[in-house]
Amino acid sequence: MCVASEAPPASAGHFGAGFSLGEPARLSAALERATQTPEGTGGGVQVVQVEGEVASVCQKRGCWMVLADGSANARILIKDHAFSIPVDSRGKTARVEGTLETRTFSAGQVRHLEHDAGRTGDGVVSPRQEWVLIATAVELR
In terms of pTM, does the model score above 0.75?
yes
pLDDT score recorded for residue 40: 47
pLDDT band of 10, cuts 50, 70, 90: low
What is d(CA 63, CA 86) in angstroms, rounded to the nearest whole number? 9
Task: Give 103's Cβ-side CA count (13 Å radius).
Answer: 17
Q: Which residues contact 122 (CB under 8 A, 6 or more apart)?
A: none
Report pLDDT for 97.
97
Q: 3-state DSSP call for residue 123?
A: coil
Cβ count near 45 (within 10 Å): 13
Both ends of the chain: CA-CA distance in Å?
26
The answer to whether 2 touches 60, Cβ cutoff 8 Å, is: yes
What is the β-pairing status of strands 25-26 and 46-57? parallel
User: Quick one: pLDDT at residue 43?
Assistant: 53
Which pLDDT tens digit goes with each residue over 106-126?
Answer: 999 999 999 888 888 888 889
Digit-coded pLDDT (tens) for 20-62: 988 999 999 999 988 886 554 545 667 899 999 999 999 999 9
Domain boundaries, the chain: 16-140
Q: Between 16 and 6, where is the model more confident? A: 16
Q: Of 90, 116, 66, 97, whose CA–CA distance to 11 is shortest?
A: 90
**Domain 16-140 fold:** OB fold (Dihydrolipoamide Acetyltransferase, E2P) (2.40.50)
pLDDT tens track for 53-92? 999 999 999 999 999 999 999 999 999 999 999 999 999 9
Question: What's the 3-state SS for 13-77?
Answer: EEEECCCCCCCCEEHHHHHHHHCCCCCCCCCCCEEEEEEEEEEEECCCCCCEEEEEECCEEEEEE
Residue 105 reports pLDDT greater than 70: yes
